[in-house]
């Protein structure tokens, strides 16, 4: 019944722009170099507040202190405070438009803000500086991947590995690219290398688990995805993927419990709530499934083909009037999809409205004539996007 294409996820590690001594170009001649070095040490030890205070004092003494401005931008970027990070990068950029650190930081922020052309412009500037070259290549690879230019993205990653053979993002993303093009063996090789060099990175285990899922290696996938979830106790992604794996494997009680774990991590995780509802559906616990969908609508959220799901639910509960109402709404939104027409035909037949039923079945026949693969009944892909969430 269920067939979900598990996806590894592209990686753009903010850690690549986090504070580190060699990560960004530094102004060696700056009189405040001692303060910058102290601030870097504070950041590396997790003393964020002391570092911010020290850098703020340095900027008050010299508003044109690019090293302090870019270090503050990097620090705020590392903790995902993008607005603050951009503010400091922009100040540095206004002083020196060629500054590699400022351009790299702005390139990453613009990429995350879905502004690829501007991000690419800044990344190309940063590419000219030795100290920011690897991270700039990483940004350019991500931009190309987002535009489905996989060969271009792969080439950027290979350039990164020529400089740093252990680079996590490059290894992981090459694995993703090979998985997308159907080369599971190469994808596995790159994911395993990423894990060997970075054994404590949850994304390494997530990508490996997603690939194992596609390969039908259930045991290995469960182990890897649970490891990813343990390493990152806040992220819902790996838990959700594990729930989908249980759902596909007909382990419905495990799926319910696992999706609930994901929801506890991310309250607005609609896909996990839908997955939980599908698991309840499979257990024929239709009231529990409906309760989960009602929770989604109560939050003002939606999911793909929501009316179709509700129509099917009410059909199972033998509330045919409600089922027809939702099936009509789905048909209005998705007139070229066969499932809604087929369900309406079945419902009208149950209500002894044969003329209406015949009309819907004729619609089904017309759709399937054009697309013989068109599904007549729902599956998990009816309600989930085809790509795994990042």
Rg over CA atoms, the chain: 25
Superfamily of 1-147 according to CATH: Tetratricopeptide repeat domain (1.25.40.10)
Tens-binned pLDDT, residue by residue, of the chain (390 aa): 444 555 667 777 754 554 443 444 444 444 456 888 888 888 888 888 998 999 999 999 999 999 999 999 998 998 889 999 999 999 999 999 999 999 999 999 999 999 999 999 999 999 999 999 999 999 999 999 999 999 999 999 999 999 999 999 999 999 999 998 999 999 999 999 999 999 999 999 999 999 999 999 999 999 999 999 999 999 999 999 999 999 989 999 999 999 999 999 999 999 999 999 999 999 999 999 999 999 999 999 999 999 999 999 999 999 999 999 999 999 999 999 999 999 999 999 999 999 999 999 999 999 999 999 888 887 777 887 644 443
Name the strand (E) or helix (H) holding 369. Answer: helix 354-370
Burial string for 59-86 (b: 16+ CB within 10 Å, else e) reads beeeeebbbbbbbbbbbbbbeeeeebbb
Evaluate whether 193 touches 168 at the Cβ level (below 8 Å).
Answer: no
Considering the entire predicted model, what is its pTM?
A: 0.82
May I ask the CATH architecture of the domain 304-390? Alpha Horseshoe (1.25)
Looking at residue 3, its pLDDT comes to 47
List the chain domain ranges: 1-147, 304-390
Instruction: Tell me how far the alpha carbon of residue 97 is from its chain's centroid.
Output: 32
Q: Exposed e or buried b for every residue in 225-248, given b needs 16+ CB within 10 A? A: bbbbbebbeebbbbbbbbbbbbbb
Q: Within its chain, how far is the Cα of 323 from the centroid?
A: 33
pLDDT of residue 172: 95
Same fold: 1-147 with 304-390: yes
Termini Cα distance of the chain: 25
């Amino acid at each position: 019944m269920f067939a979900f294409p598990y996806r590894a996820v592209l990686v753009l590690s903010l850690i690549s722009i986090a504070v580190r001594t060699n990560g960004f170009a530094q102004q060696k001649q700056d009189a405040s170099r001692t303060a910058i070095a102290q601030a870097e040490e504070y950041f590396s030890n997790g003393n964020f507040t002391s570092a911010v205070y020290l850098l703020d004092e340095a900027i008050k003494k010299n508003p044109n202190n690019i090293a302090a401005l870019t270090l503050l931008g990097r620090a705020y970027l590392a903790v995902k405070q993008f607005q603050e990070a951009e503010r400091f990068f922009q100040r540095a950029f206004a002083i020196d438009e060629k500054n590699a650190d400022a351009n790299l930081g702005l390139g990453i922020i613009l990429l995350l803000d879905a502004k690829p052309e501007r991000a690419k412009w800044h990344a190309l500037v940063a590419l000219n500086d030795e100290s920011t070259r690897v991270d700039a290549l990483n940004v350019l690879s991500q931009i190309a991947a987002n535009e489905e230019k996989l060969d271009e993205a792969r080439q950027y990653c290979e350039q990164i590995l020529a400089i740093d053979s252990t680079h996590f993002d490059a290894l992981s993303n090459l694995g993703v690219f090979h998985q997308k093009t159907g080369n599971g063996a190469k994808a596995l090789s790159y994911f395993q290398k990423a894990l060997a060099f970075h054994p404590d990175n949850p994304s390494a285990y997530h990508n490996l688990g997603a690939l194992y899922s596609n390969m039908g290696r259930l045991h290995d996938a469960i182990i890897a995805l649970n490891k990813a979830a343990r390493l990152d106790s806040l992220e819902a992604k790996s838990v959700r993927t594990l729930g989908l794996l249980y759902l596909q494997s007909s382990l419905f009680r495990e799926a319910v419990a696992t999706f609930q774990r994901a929801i506890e991590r991310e309250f607005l995780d609609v896909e996990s709530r839908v997955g939980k509802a599908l698991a309840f559906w499979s257990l024929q616990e239709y009231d529990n499934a409906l309760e989960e969908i009602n929770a989604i609508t109560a939050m003002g959220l939606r999911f793909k083909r929501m009316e179709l799901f509700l129509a099917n639910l009410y059909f199972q509960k033998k509330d045919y009037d409600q089922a027809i109402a939702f099936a009509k709404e789905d048909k209005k939104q998705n007139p070229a999809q066969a499932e809604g027409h087929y369900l309406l035909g079945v419902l009208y037949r149950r209500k002894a409205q044969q003329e209406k039923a015949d009309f819907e079945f004729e619609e089904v026949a017309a759709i399937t004539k054009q697309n013989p693969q068109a599904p007549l009944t729902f599956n998990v892909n009816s309600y989930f996007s085809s790509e795994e969430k990042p």
